[in-house]
Amino acid sequence: MEKLRIMSVFGTRPEAIKMAPLVKELASRDEIESLCCVTAQHREMLDSVMEVFDLKADCDLDIMTPRQTLSTITSKCLLGMDDAIEQLKPDMILVHGDTSTTFAGALSAFYHKVPVGHVEAGLRTYDKYSPFPEEMNRKLVTAIADLYFCPTKNNRENLLKEGVTEGLFITGNTVIDALKTTVRKDYRFTTELLNELDYSRKVVLVTCHRRENYGQPMENIMTALRDIALQNEDCELVYPVHLSPVVRENAQKFLAGTPRVHLIDPLSADEMHNLMARCYMVMTDSGGLQEEAPALGKPVLVMRKETERPEAVAAGTVKLCGVEYDDVLRMGNELLRSREAYDAMAHAVNPYGDGHACARIADAILWHFGCRSERPADFNA
């Protein structure tokens, strides 16, 4: 029997980290030929993930140029995908989450009448412009997809409310599968600063990159971070700065030279996960970190006005601190200074997965194509 050709499409760092274990799981199934098409919407940051997880692309669209507009990214991905689909002839295309690569990958699959599986489906803020453009990308992909791999029950509820009734699976988030392969007690960093850091001090892991935070919100966040470092002599802020020129300019302008602030280049996924496992707390606007840090028992302050990931907020390990200077400073200081506030948030919770999301997704795909008689059981957090 001919193998099912399942093509995973991704292009940015977080998609790659979350799709890597799935590409491998699919490859381990006898009935499946696991194909990998990267748009390279990110270049260096994608290549780093490919190396950590030992992945090889069957097709690389190589679309990244500095400071691309959303229209440029989307149109380049669409054009490149035409060739990828002609060449690799997939039976199904898998896209992940909510990036421009995700939307273009799904739209292109639709143009070629190839069914689409949406990994990390059903996340919503219900604010069209926040996160921007991700919330719209999610909704557009929902309209196109055939199979929906929802990390949580709540994500499935969101889709049911929108009238999606078929092809829904609750799988857990593949990021937890990835995390299980990277975090090790005896891990030695290649970034020497991270070996030298005194982890008995309060190491705050910081990231900030979202488009909707460009401008005043990012300035507020960065100045609040600066003042947190200045006002707390027992802390160290470690900030691996995203390669986006807008983000780098802001980090340089507001944070460079501040005592106890370490601006470093992006970390490889294994370095990042092991730093997270050792840090005191996390301050971020990232989506992925909101899922990883709770699993590692680290409190998270989310520097955004809303989140599409309410599960860890409900479990008490994540708090929204908004994007105003006063709020970020106050909530950052509180977690650093009040043992009570810290202890209330510092416990490991895993609403996002049990490390078996990829196996469930592979089983669901095989069931969909009639290669399994039983529908996989849902993940129940």
Q: Does 209 bind ligand UD1 (CB under 6 A)?
A: yes
CA dist list (Å): 54 to 176, 217, 280: 18, 37, 30
Structure tokens, 189: 């960093």
Stretch that binds ligand UDP, among 118-126, 163-171, 248-256, 285-293 (CB under 6 A): 285-293
Q: Does 102 bind ligand UDP (CB under 6 A)?
A: no
H/E/C letters for each residue in 247-273? HHHHHHHHHCCCCCEEEECCCCHHHHH
Active site residue 98: yes
Strand order in the sheet with 300-302: 261-264, 235-240, 202-207, 281-284, 300-302, 318-320
Q: Which of 292, 308, 311, 363 binds ligand UDP (CB under 6 A)?
A: 292
Of 25, 60, 120, 271, catalytic: 120
Stretch that binds ligand UD1, among 21-29, 55-63, 64-72, 193-201 (CB under 6 A): 64-72
CB of 333 within 8 A of CB of 312?
A: no
Stretch that binds ligand UD1, among 67-75, 187-195, 268-276, 297-305 (CB under 6 A): 67-75
Q: Does 174 bind ligand UD1 (CB under 6 A)?
A: no
By Cβ distance, which residue is nearest to ligand UD1?
A: 99
Residue labelled with tokens 């190396």: 51
Of 42, 96, 138, 209, catalytic: 209
Partner in contact with 269, chosen from ligand UDP, ligand UD1, none, beta carbon below 5 to 8 Å by kind: ligand UDP
Q: Does 75 bind ligand UD1 (CB under 6 A)?
A: no
**Contact positions with ligand UD1 (CB under 6 A) in 84-123:** 98-100
CA dist list (Å): 147 to 39, 122, 136: 22, 11, 18
Q: Which of 280, 278, 300 is nearest to 349 (CA)?
A: 300
Calpha distance 25→19 (Å, rounded): 10
Active site residue 233: no
Catalytic site positions? 98, 120, 134, 209, 211, 242
Contacts to ligand UD1 by CB under 6 A? 12-14, 41-45, 66-68, 70, 73, 98-100, 133-134, 209, 211, 242-245
